[in-house]
Structure 1
């Protein structure tokens, strides 16, 4: 029974670490695209939304997606999808995209905003740190509450 006091927090920590790696990876990709100096005009091929959440008493989160297509300087056509773009971009619009020469499929249509990117990434990492700290605190507290014989000690 007491193993669940360790397994569940460790599972949460693993998920949070994966999310932190994903957030920092995407931040690095966007930053590299902005810093590469390579831009192209892209056409928005499709715009759609996805929803997550249960509805009813829980909140529903809507994410806006855009699918863009552009041609690199070498003449290679590239199509990519990006989340959380501006709601003012609709199918057929032409936008400027930023990309790296070695991985143009990781392009971004977000306009450079380095401070905003750093602040949002920092806030996410702080949140993830708080979740990990709580899980560690929970595991230590649970460990201290169980005696060596397996008896549950109440404070």
Structure 2
């Protein structure tokens, strides 16, 4: 029973650490703040394409889109969006999401369940695995 409890505590610690790390890596806090804030129509002012290599050395093309929009209080903000799945042409308009207190952290990424709830989903799945593992260990020992 003690081994099962120790396993459970270690598993939960690992689960919470992993969930927090993935949440930060996916930029979920920044995106949630933007999605919970305001929206604006942004104009694409430029599209720049770069040839890069991924971690394995495979050539890949990355498009960086520069968007410009006005906030609710009239400030003009320009941002470079490189993770967007959008492919606007120069002059096109796209919707951006921004937090009122940090419009420079805006994004053109549309809200998604996965990014909004990544931390909770990872924590729930890891917790379930920890409970099942502890029950199995407790029953076997």
Q: TM-score range by the shorter chain?
A: 0.5 to 0.7
Greater fraction strand: 2
The correspondence of residues 4-153 of structure 1 with structure 2, limited to 5 A, is 23-24=25-26, 26-36=27-37, 38-53=38-53, 58-115=57-114
- Note the C-alpha offset of 1:63: 1.6
| Residues 44 and 68, structure 1, Cα contact 8 Å, conserved in 2 | yes
For structure 1, list consecutive stretches of 5 or more residues without a partner in the other structure. Answer: 1-18, 124-155
**DSSP 3-state at the match of 1:32:** helix
- Note the C-alpha offset of 1:103: 0.6
Paired positions, count = 99
Residues 20 and 86 (structure 1), Cα distance of their counterparts in 2 relative to 1, 3 Å cut: closer
For structure 2, list consecutive stretches of 5 or more residues without a partner in the other structure. Answer: 1-20, 123-141
Q: Structure with the greater relative contact order (CA < 8 A, sep ≥ 6): 1 or 2?
A: 2
Q: Which consecutive segments of 4 or more residues in structure 1 shift more than 3 A?
A: 19-22, 116-119
- Note the C-alpha offset of 1:21: 8.3
- Note the C-alpha offset of 1:116: 5.2
| Residues 48 and 65, structure 2, Cα contact 8 Å, conserved in 1 | yes
**DSSP 3-state at the match of 1:29:** helix
Inter-partner Cα distance in structure 1 for 2:82 and 2:40? 19
Structure-1-length-normalised TM-score: 0.54
- Note the C-alpha offset of 1:81: 0.7
